[in-house]
Copies of this chain bind each other. A is one copy, B any other.
Amino acid sequence: MENKTYSPEYLRNFITQFFEKLGCPTEDARAIADAFVRAELRNLSSHGMIRLKDHYQLWEAGRLNVHPDIKVVHETPGTAVVDGDNGVGMLVATRAMQVAMEKAKNSGSGWVATRNSNHFGIGSYYALMAVENDMIGLAMTNGNPLVAPANSVERLLGTNPIAVAIPAGKYPPFVGDFSTTPIARGKLAVAAKKGEKVPYGYVIDKDGNPSDDPDILKEGGAMVPLGGDLAHGSHKGYALGAIVDILSGVLSGANFGPFVPPNLAYLPLPEEQVGKGMGHFFGAWRIDAFMEASEFKSRMDRWMEIFRNAKPVPGKKVLIPGEIEREAEERIAREGIYVLPAIQKDVKELADKLEIEFEMKG
C-alpha cells in the first residue's frame, strides 16, 4: 500500500503550491490545502483531490478571486456577517469560523453568516476547529439547487449539509455532518457511473413519481429531502434544508434557493442573482459559557458510553456520529492517501500546466 499512496504532507505541500500558482498568498494556500487534505483523511474524497480541477476551471474562467479581501461587513459583540469577496470557499469558511470563535470568547457564543463565498468542502472541518477550543462548533452551507421541496418537483434547495462537533473527555468528539437529504449527491454520481439503479426514496422524476434512476436529474427529476416522502417526514427534511438556506443565504446577503451559483465552470451562473455568491452559516458555543468544561466532558463521556453500548440490531454495531470518519482518519494517516488513477491523471495535467511537480502513484 505504502508506495501507492500519498502522505498527507506530500499532498498538503502540493495543494499549497497549486493554489500559490493560481495566485493565492502562501498563507491562504496553506489554509486551503489543509481543508482539502482533511477531507481525504476523513475518507470524504468527493470533497478532496477530485475538486482541484473544478477550482482550476473556475479560476481559469475568472470566477474565483485568489486575492480576496475577506472582511466583516456588519457585527455585534456576538455576531458578524463576513463577505468572502468570492474567495476560495475553504479559505472564506476558515476565516469566518475564526471570527465566530473570537466572538464566542467575549459573548459566550459567536455566529457568522457568510456571503460571497464558494464551495466550502466538508463542514466538519470548521465545526472541529471549535472543538479544539473547548467549544461546540456548527457549520452549514447552502448549495446549488438539486432538491425539490415536499410536494414539489422543482429543484430549489441544495443538499444543504449541517455539521455539529461536540467535545468529549476521554473519547473523541461527537461529529454529526450530514446533508439534509437521504444521500449526498456523490452517491448518485457513483451509481450512474457504474450503470446501477439506486433504491427508491432518493430521487423523483419530473412528475414527482419515485424513481430508481440515478441520472433522473438530467431528465427534469430532483433529489428528495431527508424523510423521502410525505408519509415518512420529507416535509421535515424540507424544513431543515430550508432553514440552512435561509440562515446561510437570506440572512448573510448571499444567494439563496434557485439562485445559488454552481461551483463548476461548465455550468453558467444563474441569470438573476439575489445576493453575492454562495452562503454559509457558522456558530460556536463556548462550553464554559454553560458549564465547567471538565464537567461537560465527563457528561459527554457518559453519553457516549451509553449510546455506544446500546443493544444493537443483531449483527450490527451502534456508532457515535463521526466514528467512521475518525477511524478512517487514523487509518489513512497511517497508510497514506489513496487517489484514484483517473483523478491522479487529471491532477497531473493541471500540475503540468502550472509547471509544478506531481508524482503519479502506481
**Residues of A with Cβ closer than 8 Å to B?**
74-79, 81, 106-109, 111, 113, 136, 148-154, 156, 162, 164, 166, 174, 176, 178-183, 199, 201-202, 204, 207-208, 226-228, 231-233, 235-240, 242-243, 245-247, 250-253, 256-258, 274-275, 285-287, 289-291, 296, 299-300, 302-303, 306-307, 310-314, 316-319, 321
5 cross-chain pairs, A with B, having the tightest CB-CB distances, nearest first: A76-B108, A208-B313, A176-B239, A79-B108, A78-B107
* CB closest chain-B residue, reference A285: B111
Contact B226 A300 (CB under 8 A): no
In whole Å, how far is A131's beta carbon from the nearest beta carbon of chain B? 13
Contact B199 A232 (CB under 8 A): yes
- Which B residues are in CB contact (< 8 Å) with A242? 174, 176, 307, 321
Query: What's the Cα separation between A310 and B241 when bound, in Å?
Result: 15
* CB closest chain-B residue, reference A151: B316
- Which B residues are in CB contact (< 8 Å) with A287? 251
Given contacts A232-B182, A235-B321, contact A108 B152 (CB under 8 A): no
Contact B151 A313 (CB under 8 A): yes
- Which B residues are in CB contact (< 8 Å) with A251? 136, 285, 287, 290-291, 296
- Which B residues are in CB contact (< 8 Å) with A307? 149, 156, 242, 257
- Which B residues are in CB contact (< 8 Å) with A164? 239, 243
Given contacts A153-B313, A310-B156, A313-B207, contact A236 B81 (CB under 8 A): no
Given contacts A77-B78, A318-B151, contact A199 B107 (CB under 8 A): no
Contact B233 A183 (CB under 8 A): yes
- Which B residues are in CB contact (< 8 Å) with A300? 246, 250
Query: What's the Cα separation between A284 and B208 when bound, in Å?
Result: 36
